[in-house]
Chains A and B, each alone.
Chain A
Amino acid sequence: MQTRTLISPTRLNRPGAKAAYWIVLVAVIVTFTLVFVGPLYWMVTGGLKTAQETAQSPPTWWPAHPDPGNYATAWSQLSLGRLLANTVLYAAGALAFQLVFDVAAAYALSKLRPVLGNVVLAAMIGTLMIPATVLIVPQYLTVLDLPVLHANLLNTPWAIWLPSVTNAFNIFLLKRFFDAVPEELLAAGAIDGAGPIRTLWSIVLPISRPILGVVSIFAVTNVWKDFLWPLLAEADPTRQPLNVGIYSLSQNVPQNILIAALAIAAAPTVVVFLIFQRNIMSGLSAGSLKG
């Protein structure tokens, strides 16, 4: 079904307008393909070139002597597998922690509203205004020597998992969604004798799937894309996530192997995205707004 937008359908159906529409559409399709897929093509073919060819002027559009061996070299010598495994571990843990703690917190703030709940919420939302990097120094010192417990979380997954819970944006999204869950639904549950936690589990969560999807995407991509924090908190190269590991590697390998490594690093998420793009896209656009 087509809804009415800026330009009316009747106007578009006029002969001149129709031609203009198609010209613009094709131009946009071509431009977007070049702009957004072009660099990926450049990356994949760059990984097939020799080191000399990658520094050639002008650049070649197709490798003169394609060498898939670069990819094998990049994978095995640079331990990309390990970097990838680290990233998955960090992302999965961060996701689990956020789903448990952030959902619980948002539900409590939305439906149970305990004493000082408003203060807590304001203090959480307030952190949205503060870029994480501003606090990088004290945060680092905290992880280094956790107050009271005196544990050192550096070079452990905890250094990524626990701070990931302080995702005020996700809490905000979740709370907004829970706010919109009608009270009657909860009241019905209460009459059946369900306590707040059972209500959360069997009534609220099942209807919250869209927002949980969005929050999960944000949780995973945050870990996937973070750089400075893991660079410092996971300084041990065997524990670095992909995003940091590639940077370390860039100091150490010829340009062609590096480009192959960039392509390999990009592949997993791009493939996952292309397979699930329908779900991800609709989830993101529905959840982020209507939540």
Chain B
Amino acid sequence: MNSQFRRALAMALAACAGVAGLAGCGSADQGDSADGKVTITVDCQPPKSDKADRDSWNADVAAFQKLHPNITIKSVDKFPCEEPASFTAQLRGGTEADVFYAYATDTDQVVNSGQVTDITQYVNDKTVPGLSDLDRTTLDVGRRGGKLWSLPRTNYSMGLVINRKLFKQAGLDPDQPPTTWAEVAKDAKQITDKVGHGVAGYADYSAGNNGGWHFTAEMYAQGGQVVTADGKKADFNNAKGRAVLSRLHRMRYSDGSMGAKQNLAWADLLKLASAGKVGMYIGAPDTIKAIHENFKGDYADFGMGPMPGETGPAPATLGGGDQYFFKKTDTPAQIRAGIAWVVYQELTPGKGQLDYVRGKRIGQTVGQPEPQLFTGATEQKVEKLRAANATIPTDNYAAFRDNPVPFKVEPPNAQAIYKVLDTAMSAVLTNPHADVTALLDTAEKQVNQVLAAG
């Protein structure tokens, strides 16, 4: 009898102990020790499938640690660098890396979460050499309430990506991408009609919040905005908004030049483009990099022109990027180490992601007009290095590079607004009888609700 009881009790105790033992697993390990050594975890290490990028990241870590023997970098393999659900989950759980990646779109969410450190006092000309030459708009992506919360990693601005091969097959000049929406529509129809085989002359997003993102970009191109300057009201239920949606609807159903496949999210469109099924789409240079490196398309087939507008290149285009934040629990030593690493890896001409000499040697993509993190002499230096080591036909980007369009950042509460606008985009691309006015009315109401709730 006794042994029976003891066993039963032991079982119950084991159940408790098993749980209690976990308490140790979750506790945060302190990064810096008495001897001045400091360890930081950094996420967004390139995935194994991007061999060149991953190898150079690892080499950079080794070189950086040699330069700073007291710092140890632990890389966190994460792809996509930000997956919305697990990103939010980690942010809420405080399980993100010490130095963690986020889209420009999500600055509000990150700062509101209370999980990050204000790095204003750590950032100066000494800790971030070339700070004065850093592009202001790009740096300000990480500024909220007068405080700086992040350092930029890359930035982008959207233009018109074209498939040069399909342009030639359709009898169009790939060196002269269309610069107005009327020309885009005309060329798209010509590509679909001449090439056939289910090729979409033009493709656009309508799912996974990408539709709202591109609607915003196309509003900017129209000279409009999606939210008023004070950030309080929706500002797309107007002639400009109607122009954007009716144009897409016309191209989809009257011209039939947008292909059969819709409800595309980010990777869907790029996969189609890599398979040679898309003549044109709106996007930044990094999409061509993804097409080449992830989806095995060919660089030579793709080129870019400026964001189209009503009568010529657009007055503004959507820009954004990504950034590194510093976790709330970081010690000052960890923050300093993190800043040193981000500067070394992302913001030093000739080093890290901007080491174009190595890039060329190991077969990375060099020569895209992106990122443009600096202004003035620093930017010129970067561009010179880039041009000298280009691995891709840079002339394909001439039209984009030579017609710079000023970029405009994303609206506040971007994801919630994009989610609403996804529906409108999805409707004009999948419903032959979509009512543009009604769609914009509904979307306006919903966005105003989102903004009112803050």
Contact = CB atoms under 8 A, between A and B. Distances in A.
Interface of A: 51-52, 54-55, 57, 76-79, 100-101, 104, 140-141, 144, 146, 149-156, 158, 162, 195-198, 231-233, 235-238, 248, 250-255
A197 B4 contact: yes
Contacts of A156: 22, 25-26
Contacts of B256: none
Nearest to A247: B83
Interface string B1-26: 10010011001000100011011111
9 contacts: A55-B277, A144-B92, A154-B90, A156-B26, A235-B93, A248-B83, A252-B47, A252-B80, A255-B271
Nearest to B198: A57
Nearest to A108: B8
Contacts of B384: none
A221 B170 CA distance: 52
A240 to B, nearest CB: 9
Nearest to B261: A55
Contacts of A162: 19
A232 B85 contact: yes
A196 B25 CA distance: 35
Contacts of B90: 154, 235
A77 B271 CA distance: 18
Contacts of B78: 236-237
A51 B26 contact: no
B217 to A, nearest CB: 21
Interface residues of B, number: 45
A198 B6 CA distance: 12
B368 interface: no
Interface of B: 1, 4, 7-8, 11, 15, 19-20, 22-27, 47-49, 76-80, 83, 85-87, 89-90, 92-95, 197-198, 266-267, 271-272, 274-277, 294-296
Contact of B294 (A155, A232, A254): A254
A139 to B, nearest CB: 12
Complex A-B, nearest 6 residue pairs according to Cβ-Cβ distance, in ascending order:
A152-B26, A235-B86, A195-B4, A55-B275, A77-B49, A151-B22
B213 to A, nearest CB: 16
B93 A238 contact: no
Contact of B89 (A79, A197, A232): A232
Nearest to B80: A251
Contacts of B4: 195-198
Nearest to A165: B15
Given A162-B19, A196-B4, A252-B80, A51 B11 contact: no
B426 to A, nearest CB: 19
Contact of A51 (B20, B27, B198, B274): B274
B275 A255 contact: yes
Contacts of B272: 55
Contacts of B11: 100, 104
A195 B197 CA distance: 76
A155 B95 contact: yes
B271 A237 contact: no
Contacts of A77: 48-49
Contacts of A235: 83, 85-87, 89-90, 93, 95
Given A150-B23, A251-B266, A254-B295, A144 B93 contact: yes
Contacts of A196: 4
B79 A152 contact: no
A101 B16 CA distance: 12
Contacts of A153: 22, 25-26
A104 B10 CA distance: 13
Nearest to A137: B92
Given A151-B19, A156-B26, A235-B95, 20 more contacts: A55-B272, A76-B48, A151-B22, A152-B27, A152-B94, A154-B26, A154-B90, A158-B25, A195-B1, A231-B86, A232-B85, A235-B86, A235-B89, A238-B77, A248-B80, A250-B267, A252-B294, A253-B294, A253-B295, A255-B275
Contact of A237 (B1, B27, B79, B197): B79
Contacts of A101: 15
Nearest to A244: B86
Nearest to B271: A255
B95 A152 contact: yes
Contacts of B20: 149
B255 to A, nearest CB: 19
A77 B277 CA distance: 26
Contacts of A149: 19-20, 22-23
